[in-house]
Structure 1
Amino acid sequence: MIATEQEARAWLAALPEWDAVAADRIELLIALLIEENARQNLVAAASLPLVWHRHIADSAQLLPHVPRETSSPWLDLGTGAGFPGLVIAALRPDCEVVMVESRARRIEWLERARLALGLERARIEGARLEQVETRAFRVISARAFAPLVRLLDLSARFSTKDTLYLLPKGRSAQQELSELEGWNHLFHVEQSLTDPEAGVIIGQLLGKKGKKP
């Protein structure tokens, strides 16, 4: 379990994606986040002293679930302040990461951060998810985007049976999965590495269940 800033830094440094260039990108992302947070409330101000733990490691913990050779393209729903989307893109700049965000000021922030970090393969879809053109993605992530049923209703058209969902869900993970109806799936909950009370829903969506006779 990652519980401190020091532990978060050490865990990140052990990732295969971590090198001096990745470290510089993440340091720059944090600096940009702190600066922008004074202008708009991207994240809770109280979380900034714990930014490595609460935002960077919390986002990066999704990476070990994705084989590097099959990591692209990646769709991040409701990216908001850039978590996990910007962190994923910063650590895997070779991966196509599409970040969906509908709020104008967040879109502007994400685009500025993307350009500053030199993330040429990352892209911001500044629209509601319902307006994004359908295509298949290899990975779909979402952090605090919508309840699971609503999330699947909105995102199913971007998935195939091979798409990996990575959904940090906090304390509600197991309950939301237990209450999920109407879908065939291979989801399970894994313990969050950054919060002992949180879970991450992981797995594949296989499609809508057929109507019973």
Structure 2
Amino acid sequence: MNTTRKEAVGEHYSLDAMQHARTMTWKAVDAIAAEVRPGMAESEANALALRILKDLGMDRIWHPVLVRFGENTLRTFKERSNGDPVLADNDIFFIDLGAVWAKHEGDAGATFVCGDDEDMHACAEAARTIYDEVEQHWRTTGCAGIALYDYAAQRANAHGVRLNVDIKGHRVSDFPHAIYRAGDLGDFDGKPAGGLWILEIQIAHPTRPFGAFYEDLLV
């Protein structure tokens, strides 16, 4: 593997611009979450998300907007939602956004809960906690991407949830990162550089039909 090629960037790349893209994408996630309400269909939430991104002034999306409700929180990015569910009073949903700001790619995602279902709240919290633990492991050990996802699986088990091992993170950059064919973070056998990789954590509740998701830029 050519680590240098897999971490290549374009002539416009800057870490400050990546940080700006990150900030704006999280601003969109929070704004969307604040508007999602019980009684809303999943398709309506996705339309809302796209509208908010446009209102915030994104250049464009670089991956489809994804808002998942209920059982659809178990589905991976490449899988279609099952139907068009309506968000219940006690329900769980996640938001996954990939948008370009000032020619740089933002990518962020988080899980939210309506109502007081303790399992749902615990699952959403676990996704964020596992992310934080893995991010800290990257920061303190400098281990390779493969080892990061081995550690993520260990931490998921420790929290009593199942890690979706098909979701392994990916490159970002000045748009478009896809030209570098860098593959998944979880298959990268070098030390991931800051400002170039998205760490994704998707988990499933061990007995109930829902999951949770959290992702952010490693910086």
Q: TM-score when scaled to structure 1?
A: 0.28
Higher relative contact order (CA 8 A, sep 6+): 2
Q: TM-score, normalised by structure 2?
A: 0.27
Q: Which has the higher strand share?
A: 2
